[in-house]
Amino acid sequence: MDVEQKLETGQVTEHTVEQMLLLAERLRESHGGELDDEAIVAVSEATGAPVDYVRIAVSRSSKTKDQTITRKLRGKYLSLGPEERAWVMAGAVGAGAGMAYAFDAKFPQNNGLPMILMILLLVVGFSIIGMRKDSRVATIAGAILGCVGVVSSSLFGLFLGHSSRGDPIYVVLLTVLSAFLGFAIQKVVSRNRTSLGMKDPTEERQDLLRQLNDLRAKLESGKQRLTFLSVDIVGSTRMKAGADPLSVEYTFNEYHRHVERGTTKHGGTVHSTAGDGATCAFDSPMAAWLAAKYIQTGIIEVNTFGNKIGTPILLRCGIHCGDVVAPDVNDVTSVNFAHVIDVAAHLQKVCPEGGIAVSRHAAFEIPGGPSKIGSEQVEVDGEIGYVWLPRTRASLAATGGPPPLPEQA
């Protein structure tokens, strides 16, 4: 089964892979390292996603961050396979060493700094090659380093006007010598990893995998299934226009008290309020459904006795349920960023006036299912919502709107 099929069947989710990559990167940074191939393989094992897909996710994540040249190159480098990365690194080191050698030949009065740089690059390059797990990869990487080094020296020397070191025999000799050095150093390092204080790659990956799973378990300790009810007033700006400020404040306070009363009556909690809208959290879709009906049917009483503006309050409601992770398990208001809340709010926005839009997921957890709610449907964010409307809505539509409020004193 390929990556696309796994994504379609839900075996791999992009969000899960991205979150695990973020955790792996933070773990590496906390130990003074950075995201590498072992970390990518560990993420693959932890999520069940193919390694190639994890590499694609690394490349994508680098594009969503600050678009610096360094970050772009790092993202591209990490998206390559381990063999390609070894060869790219070897080519880069060889090119740098070759340029340093050509610069030293062109300007002999330079205090030896270019040669020091070349030696450092070669030492670093062969050290990294020696840490490869596969001797074949190390041999090829060594050959690339030597070959690119000679070619780079000739080309850069030509650019500087000093081309006496362009003999092709150097390419063959240094390529073979570098390939042998890569092979030999890799064998020595692989046999002496413990004495050199280096972890076995498999052991290192398993250690990171354990840390990832432990950290994910801690982060998901606050995971719980909640239902969110989104309530908002239709045309609140128009209602306030030209109205007495004190009357507006009194009326909207009465409305918010009504929403809070209906929420607590059915075991819920007012999660947040923003302007004229409110988001309420419940343990079950049934509780949210009963609270929404209480709020919608009870708004008539608010309009009759608590509305001092003169324009009736009309509400829209949206309900959706799903898993959320609360930083504080005992405080649902600590949940600030959740897809469940967004869907509930979006259903509310497309719901008819005076109605309640219940998502398909929530509707099937209410006794009686969608048929208990209503036949009218809305759709948003790929989620179908079943719409409940009060029986009085038809009569309101026939008369052109709700009855006028009693005259205010």
Give the H/E segment covering residue 128.
Answer: helix 113-130
> Six-digit token pair at 383?
């989620």
Q: What are phi and psi of 322, to 5 degrees?
A: 170, 180
Residues in the chain: 409
Torsion from C-alpha of 277, 279, 280, 281, nearest 10 degrees: 180
Average predicted confidence (pLDDT) for the chain: 79
User: What are the extents of the domains in the chain?
Assistant: 3-214, 222-398
Angstrom distance (rounded) from CA 26 to CA 39: 11
Highest average pLDDT, of 125-134, 218-227, 386-395, comes from 125-134
Which residue would you say has higher pLDDT here, 167 or 190? 190
Residue that has been written with the tokens 């209602």 in this structure: 239
Q: Output the pLDDT for position 398.
A: 43
> Please, are residues 324 and 224 in contact by the beta-carbon 8 Å criterion?
yes
User: Which residue in 22, 34, 23, 89 sits closest to 61, CA to CA?
Assistant: 22
Q: Quick one: pLDDT band at residue 198, thresholds 50, 70, 90?
A: low
Q: Is the domain covering 222-398 a CATH 3.40.720.10 domain? A: no
Q: Tell me the two tokens of residue 337.
A: 């960023």
- In this prediction, residues 95-99 reach a mean pLDDT of 89
- At residue 4, the pLDDT reads 43
Report the pLDDT averaged over residues 337-353.
92
Confidence class for position 107, pLDDT limits 50, 70, 90: confident
- Helix count and strand count (H, E) for the chain: 17, 7
- Per-residue pLDDT, averaged over 44-60, amounts to 68
Task: Give the residue with greater pLDDT, 382 vs 107.
Answer: 382
Q: What is the pLDDT of residue 397?
A: 43
Q: Which residues pair with 378 in a beta bridge?
A: 385
Q: Output DSSP code: residue 408.
A: P
Residue-wise pLDDT tens digits, 229-263: 999 999 888 888 888 999 999 999 999 999 999 99
User: What is the pLDDT at residue 152?
Assistant: 86
Candidate ranges 55-64, 65-74, 95-104, 211-220; pick with highest mean pLDDT: 95-104
The helix (run of H) or strand (run of E) holding residue 307 is: none
Check: pTM over 0.75? Answer yes or no: no
